[in-house]
């Protein structure tokens, strides 16, 4: 990707202004995303209208961190929600699968960002509502439904996202401003020792996506930017976003070359007119397909 070709400033789409828009995915020819604190699962409406509201697919009574599509269950999602994992059916009803952070005496917790890997497993991070240092963790649900706490001591985990062949994982510890890289064992999901992929001097790395060249894109919370990094960690692109808190990103569209960006209004004393909007811009390198959770029990 040549730096000589600029990316236009992302344009706002749809009329919604989300409290904490994250977890955006390109699935089945449309975007799907969450408004975490309101517990809503949203998608783009049918047709070409980019000015109306997003469609509500489901509304949960707990925070909804992120979802992944479930193979063999059209319109269903596995979700990091509340303090654990659940299934959201095509009718919007939920089925609890695992309680991970419920009843912890130390601090109130919730699930945050999540994604499936190319091998069909589901990964999700947890965090405390008050971003207590080191209170968060990363969990993995295998295809047989077994849940493992993979990492702990994270403050605010975002991602994970996976490289093109699924054997590399990137995980942001947002408050600490660092993105780490892990090798992933294809058969077991076991992680190798981490290495620091990049550290940000300002703003916090938030939602991420990987493109077909292995480039890593990340929203930079608090800085109004999206960054693209080369596979060796070199900063390749900076995209300015007209919102202070970009939060989630994905690469989608018919050719995979539309960059979608969510943003948030939460915590801003005087949100601007575009804070909380969903944006899009065109890029050169297409993204990877959204991976599905592939349960053995379907």
Q: Do the annotations mark residue 22 as ligand-binding?
A: yes
CB count in 10 Å sphere of residue 187: 7
pTM (2 d.p.): 0.95
Q: How far is CA 205 from the centre of its chain?
A: 11
pLDDT in tens, 55-91: 999 999 999 999 999 999 999 999 999 999 999 999 9
- pLDDT on residue 298: 62
> Looking at the predicted structure, is the pLDDT value of residue 191 above 50?
yes
Question: What is the spatial distance between Cα 10 and Cα 204, in angstroms, rounded to a whole number?
Answer: 19
- pLDDT on residue 5: 65
- pLDDT on residue 106: 72
DSSP letter string over 148-205? Answer: EEEEEEESSEEEEEE-TTSSEEEEEEGGGTEEEEEEB-TTT--B---EEEEE-SSSEE
pLDDT in tens, 228-278: 999 999 999 999 999 999 999 999 999 999 999 999 999 999 999 999 999
Q: Do the annotations mark residue 112 as ligand-binding?
A: yes
Every domain of the chain and the residues it spans: 11-282
Domain 11-282 has CATH 2.120.10.30: yes
- pLDDT on residue 103: 60
Q: Do the annotations mark residue 130 as ligand-binding?
A: yes
> Looking at the predicted structure, is the pLDDT value of residue 3 above 60?
no
In the predicted model, what is the mean pLDDT of the chain?
94
- pLDDT on residue 50: 76
Question: What is the spatial distance between Cα 228 and Cα 68, in angstroms, rounded to a whole number?
Answer: 23
Question: 69 near 50, Cβ under 8 Å?
Answer: no
Average pLDDT for 42-50: 80
- pLDDT on residue 4: 46
pLDDT over 70 for what percent of the chain?
Answer: 95
Residue of 16, 35, 113, 206 marked catalytic: 206
Average pLDDT for 42-47: 84
261: left (phi over 0), alpha (psi -120 to 50) or beta: beta
Question: What is the spatial distance between Cα 235 and Cα 290, in angstroms, rounded to a whole number?
Answer: 24
Question: What is the spatial distance between Cα 91 and Cα 244, in angstroms, rounded to a whole number?
Answer: 35
DSSP letter string over 60-77? Answer: -SS-EEEEEEBTTSTT-E
> Looking at the predicted structure, is the pLDDT value of residue 157 above 80?
yes
206 classed as catalytic: yes
pLDDT in tens, 203-231: 999 999 999 999 999 999 999 999 999 99
In the three-class reduction of DSSP (H, G, I as helix; E, B as strand; rest coil), residue 36 is classed as helix
In the three-class reduction of DSSP (H, G, I as helix; E, B as strand; rest coil), residue 275 is classed as coil
Q: Do the annotations mark residue 35 as ligand-binding?
A: no
């Amino acid at each position: 990707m040549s730096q000589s070709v600029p990316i236009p400033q992302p344009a706002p789409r749809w009329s919604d202004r989300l409290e904490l828009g994250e977890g955006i995915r390109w699935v089945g020819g449309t975007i799907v995303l969450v408004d975490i604190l309101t517990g809503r699962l949203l998608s783009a409406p049918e047709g070409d209208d980019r000015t109306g509201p997003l469609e509500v697919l489901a509304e949960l009574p707990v925070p909804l961190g992120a979802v992944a599509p479930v193979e063999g269950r059209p319109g269903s999602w596995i979700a990091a929600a509340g303090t654990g994992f659940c299934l959201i059916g095509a009718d919007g009803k939920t089925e609890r699968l695992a309680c991970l952070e419920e009843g912890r005496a130390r601090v109130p917790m919730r699930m945050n960002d999540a994604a499936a890997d190319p091998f069909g497993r589901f990964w999700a991070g947890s965090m405390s509502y008050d971003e207590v240092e080191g209170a968060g963790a990363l969990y993995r649900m295998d295809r047989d439904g077994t849940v493992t706490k993979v990492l702990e001591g994270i403050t605010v985990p975002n991602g994970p996202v996976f490289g093109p062949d699924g054997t590399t994982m990137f995980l942001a510890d947002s408050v600490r401003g660092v993105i780490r890289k892990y090798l992933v064992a294809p058969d077991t999901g076991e992680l190798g020792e981490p290495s620091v992929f990049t550290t940000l001097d300002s703003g916090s790395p938030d939602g991420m996506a990987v493109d077909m060249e292995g480039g890593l894109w990340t929203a930079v919370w608090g800085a109004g930017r999206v960054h693209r990094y080369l596979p060796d960690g070199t900063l390749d692109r900076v995209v300015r976003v007209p919102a202070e808190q970009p939060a989630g990103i994905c690469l989608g569209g018919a050719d995979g070359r539309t960059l979608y960006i969510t943003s948030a209004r939460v915590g801003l004393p005087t949100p601007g007119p575009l804070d909380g909007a969903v944006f899009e811009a065109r890029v050169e390198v297409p993204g990877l397909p959204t991976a599905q959770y592939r349960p053995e029990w379907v």
